[in-house]
Amino acid sequence: MTLMRALFTFILLMPGMLLMGQMPPPDTVNLNELEVLSELKKVPAGMIEKSIDTNVLYNESTVSLSDLLDAHSSIFIKNEGRGALSTVSFRGTAASHTDVLWNGLSIKSPMLGQVDFSLFPVFLYDNVSIKAGNSSLSETTGALGGVVCLDNRGEWTKGVKASLLTGIGSYSTFNNYLKLHLGGGRLSSNTRLYYNYSKNDFAFKNKNIANINPVTGEYEYPVQKNKNAAYLLTGVEQNFYYRTGEKGLLKINYWFQKSERSIPRLNTYEGDDYSNISRQDENTHRVNVHYSFFAGENRLSVNSGLVSQRLIYGLKNLVGGKGYVYAINSNSSILSFYNKASYGFVPFKKVFVKTEYSFNYHEVSTLDSVNLTGYGAKRTEHKIFVMWNQKISERFSASLILHKIWVEGKSVPLIPYMGFEWLANKKLHAVLKGNVARNYNYPDLNDLYWQPGGNPALKPEEGVSGEVNGSLEIKPGGLSFLPAVSVFYNDIDNWILWLPAPAGYWQARNVKKVIAKGIEFSLDIAFPVGKLKCSVKGNYAFTRSLNYGEKDIWGEGAVGKQLPYIPVHSGNITVNMFWKNFEIVYVNNSYGERYTTSTNNVTQRDRLYPYFMNNLYISKFFMLNKSKITAQLKIYNLFNEEYRSVLGRPMPGINFLFLLKMSL
């Protein structure tokens, strides 16, 4: 209700704000209009892209990508717990429908078909951008929900620059980050090291276990510790940039990461501390080599990347006389090789054409040495991409994109995209965008070959979707007012889900249809109050992701209902205030109720209550000799709210992190 009241209030105020934006302030000298003609765009028309503000990246540099998107975008994060698995639902789609690109290289697992967003430190990236829905087709295919782009930028400052960030927080949490820049002439080097550890043993009230007070007759819930929940994340990212002349640039990106995570038991678990002990370790190498050459309007780009990952998962129990015995001991190796060559040129005036060819190779090997189950599989992908972008008039552009894909020699139907962009009002920079496209997501290798339950007969998921987006940019006086709204519709057939099979295990199956539709609204406001600089950024999403699958699979009660764990209402707001050398940032993140069953049962077990998360950051900046020092206190869950993101997984109450950053 709070979100709806806020949206309703904005709708009432918006006409007045628009009128205010068109009225000249008092004592203003009116000048003749200066017309600025835009250059031919090299990106497809109709694309909806949003970049996270660099000041937000600075303040959130110690958090994971899941926490960043949770608080500063309209993407829903399904979080298994602090430091644990985090997946996303972008516009009501599944976790497998969102891709992540690191410097253009896909880091989505070909085995699991999804990305764990908790494993990506924001500290590593210079730019984080989000391309929603069909806009993902400018980068890749299969991302029915969208794509998140993580990019590093070359810095050409001569000499040596370094910054150190260290933090200590609740639950024996220690964060350490080091960034080193070496530059001069044509060569630039950027190195980032990080080490994050937390015992993660927060206390929580377990409402799944209760005693009855013999005097009052009321339920009494025990306070327990989050046991077996420690995590360690450490790694290094090395980026080299070399100018091969005035028109050429060579980039080499390397990223090694090691993660060790103990997986806590569900809070419904009633066994002892020596059973059901889970742990997951990952070692990942990523390397990306990119060369680009610019000659006038011509652009040549060649890219090769390699991802090598080893994943170990174990579940063990203490057995008398034998010690700890593994019930599961799974070892998986994943290798992906990506290659891409593209060429862009201007064949006619006001027309930009881009052609691209990609070849990808994936290899997966997995084995459970206890149950002697597993599989080995390989996959090859050939992709052809053609884009035609035309500036039809000074205010109107249109684009056509065609993707053609072959997976293991099998042809996937043509993937078309059509988009437009119209500058409706120059003074207000009122822009209307729209697009419509078809997209396909091929099953991941686990869906096809996992034993037991993999289904080699699965069909690709097929989506037809469209979107319309409108935005304004109003800047009267010192005020900056930037609202934007998007309306989207996704119709997805052959949605892949794992369902109980008659043989007693779960099996991957295609279900009939899911329709995801809704509205996204964003607003950025910046204004001064005397010497105080203020800004307010907000996002709101209304998402209906409805199951129209077969009744014999789901039952009558599930058809037409919201998919589990996807909230209808979600939103966030960030308030930033800067005065002299002090900064205060308030972040609120809100989710409406979420159901955990396909029939949307309203019970304590089948429904997660709405929650409103509040964080507060207080920073002080000062100089010490030639070094800039930043001291920051972060208070998470400011009002100590009890909440759940996933059933059976506890979340922490109010907690703190103190940070000290030094830049040389």
Q: Where are the domains of the chain?
A: 40-663
* The pairing of beta strand 569-579 with beta strand 396-407: unpaired
The answer to whether the beta carbons of residues 69 and 90 sit under 8 Å apart is: no
The answer to whether the beta carbons of residues 662 and 629 sit under 8 Å apart is: yes
pTM of the model: 0.90
Q: What pLDDT, on a 0 to 100 scale, did the predictor assign at position 39?
A: 44
Q: What pLDDT, on a 0 to 100 scale, did the predictor assign at position 184?
A: 79
Each residue of 58-82: b (16+ CB within 10 Å) or e? ebbbbbbbbbbbbbbbbbbbbbbbb
Q: What pLDDT, on a 0 to 100 scale, did the predictor assign at position 473?
A: 93
Each residue of 541-566: b (16+ CB within 10 Å) or e? bbbebbbbbeeebbeeebbebbbbbb
User: Strand runs (DSSP E) across 214-269, as ranges?
Assistant: 219-220, 223-225, 231-243, 248-263
Each residue of 395-424: b (16+ CB within 10 Å) or e? eebbbebebebebeeeebeebebbbbbbbe
**CATH, domain 40-663, list 3.40.109.40, 2.40.170.20, 2.40.50.140, 3.40.50.720:** 2.40.170.20
Query: Look-up: residue for tokens 């979100």?
Result: 3
The answer to whether the beta carbons of residues 186 and 194 sit under 8 Å apart is: no
**Residues of the chain under the 50 pLDDT cut:** 1-39
The answer to whether the beta carbons of residues 495 and 514 sit under 8 Å apart is: yes
Q: What pLDDT, on a 0 to 100 scale, did the predictor assign at position 19?
A: 31
Rounded to the nearest 10°, the torsion over CA 176, 250, 256, 443 is 120
Q: If we measure between CA atoms, which residue out of 606, 593, 476 comes closest to residue 1?
A: 593
Query: Look-up: residue for tokens 């109010």?
Result: 654
Integer Cα distance of 158 and 153 in angstroms: 15
